[in-house]
Amino acid sequence: MKKYLYAVLLTLFVSAASAQIKFGAKAGVNFSSPSLRSSLADLPFNISSRTAWHAGVVSEIEMSKQFYFQPGLTLSEKGYKLSAIGNVSSVYQTLSPLYLEIPLNVVAKFPAGIGKILLGAGPYIGFGLGGKAKITFSDGSSSEEKILFGKDKYLNSTDLGLNFLAGYELPKGFFLSCNYGLGLSNINTSSELIQKNRVVSVSLGYFIFQTK
């Protein structure tokens, strides 16, 4: 078994060494609207999306003339807005967790006009870094605290999911992409809540240089 594993790793290393590799950066806007449900009863509050941001670095390894492997590192802010409207008082909460994500996408490119259409998918893993939880009451008072990740905290520290992306690449290295992040793991630490990230991202990026 180890011999087969070493052979696979050696093949990947040789392929990467002989392939064209690009390095670039990207940034853009997130539209975050998580899936949130209770295992016991209907939720006594409403959930709405919030607009946030993301920025990071991306690399691209040529697998063939049409397919490319695109790993990267991305800082991504997610979260949601919550409102609980009562007869006497109301509560509004904004949760804005920050993640470091590692996307591992495979992208296909199709010539179209002066550039190429991009279609891709792949898994991602995210690690919670921090963020803020702000609560505002109907009387105007508010409070704010840091989001803590881990057991018995706000959220679980690890998020796993899938990316689905489409975009367009220009000849000079600029690209525009739209990505849908489908969270698969429950990030809520409460035993009564099931929460999964759902994020639509729009990115503008640029490949700064390439190896050959």
Domains and CATH numbers, the chain: 21-210 (2.40.160.20)
Indicate the helix (H) or strand (E) that contains 17: helix 2-18
148 by DSSP, 3-state: which?
coil
Full pLDDT tens readout for the chain, 212 residues = 445 445 544 544 555 555 789 999 999 999 998 888 776 666 667 788 999 999 999 999 999 989 999 999 999 999 998 887 766 667 888 999 999 999 999 999 999 999 999 999 999 999 999 999 898 887 778 788 898 898 778 899 999 999 999 999 998 899 999 999 999 999 988 877 888 999 999 999 999 987 76
- Return d(Cα 39, Cα 192) in angstroms, integer: 5
Rounded distance between C-alpha atoms, residue 202 and residue 88, angstroms: 40
Residue that the structure tokens 């409070």 belong to: 143
pTM value is 0.84
- Bridge partners (DSSP) of residue 28 are 54, 203
* Tokens standing for residue 172: 């000079």
- Rounded Cα gap, residues 132 and 148, in angstroms: 9
**What is the C-alpha to C-alpha distance for residues 101 and 27, in angstroms, rounded to an integer?**
13
